[in-house]
Amino acid sequence: METPIVVQDVHKSFGKVKALHDISFTVNEGELFGLIGPDGAGKSTLFRILTTLLLADKGQAAVNGLDVVKNYKAIRKIVGYMPGRFSLYQDLTVQENLDFFATIFNTTVAANYELIEEIYVQIAPFKDRPAGKLSGGMKQKLALCCALVHKPVVLFLDEPTTGVDPVSRKEFWEMLQRLRKKGIAILVSTPYMDEAMLCDRVALIQNGSLLEIDTPQHIISQYNKPMWAVRAKRMYPLIQDLRSFPETESCYAFGEYLHLTLKHGEAGLEKLQAYLQPKGHEEFSIHPIQAGIEDCFMELMKSEKV
């Protein structure tokens, strides 16, 4: 079996804007590979190059062993693509959209029903509803069905969970896990850092460059600075105090805690206690924690800017 996705030294600019700079990575068979980064990082440009909708300025890319330039027609037959913007026909019903995409690929919904069944049963109660009238989560499920209807070898999902509520997001990722087990390689992008943990490997992307490619677990284990979770009753004054503390390296809000790193690590802890003492924060607490993927991303972003 061919490697599902190989990207080598890909560059793409739009005028002066470098959308992609020297991108290389590989997605292996049955791998769920995440492209993690904010809006404007270059994620969609990369998807469009890999789905043969856009030409790179430089570099090569192959999908299932087929070159994205020379064999573009063959690639289009074997990939499923869910673009970032909802791209189904809003005025066609759920059923009509599915039939339409099946027909385009010269197949029928029935022929590959086994692949979409689990997802389809969730939207089946709305099969006669126009796609434009579905809720956000339902739209994404329909779009995934349409991308799968011709049994693709590689699946490209560009921000499938953006703007989708946490419940639907979770359900969507559970579906991706099951598809992966069926041997479909999946390249999925997301701006939600917590979703990175659900991927086999991730590439962190920012301003058109890859910051890191690895398993999420390994990225986290490489973060070697001591970090503390800090909280108090009133968080905003605490953030301000911590940011003005000369020993503070970084201080960011993370849910109910602030994540804090110090320039001299644990050596700075005593000074911190002495500094905060007179400020009188109520319900103050501090404990060491392991950095998460979002901490790592922020750290990598910082080193990139220097």
Residues that bind another protein (CB under 8 A): 37-41, 135-137, 162-170, 191-194, 206, 235-236, 239, 252-256, 294, 297-298, 301
Q: Of 213 and 298, which has the nearer Cβ to another protein?
A: 298
Q: Of 170 and 178, which has the nearer Cβ to another protein?
A: 170
Q: Of 125 and 183, which has the nearer Cβ to another protein?
A: 125
Q: How far is the CB of 32 from another protein (least distance, A)?
A: 20
Token pair 């739009």 in the structure block, residue? 14
Q: How far is the CB of 138 from another protein (least distance, A)?
A: 8
Residue type, 5: I
Q: Of 103 and 240, which has the nearer Cβ to another protein?
A: 240
Q: How far is the CB of 132 from another protein (least distance, A)?
A: 14
Contacts of 197 (CB under 8 A, 6+ apart): 216, 293
Q: Of 80 and 137, which has the nearer Cβ to another protein?
A: 137
Sheet containing strand 185-190, edge to edge, reads 79-82, 154-157, 185-190, 32-36, 201-206, 209-214
Q: How far is the CB of 231 from another protein (least distance, A)?
A: 10
DSSP 257-269: EEEEEETTGGGGH
> Which structure tokens are listed for 139?
């739209």
Cβ atoms within 10 A of the Cβ of 185, count? Answer: 26
Rounded Cα distance between 300 and 298, Å, is: 5
Rounded Cα distance between 68 and 46, Å, is: 12
Q: How far is the CB of 4 from another protein (least distance, A)?
A: 27
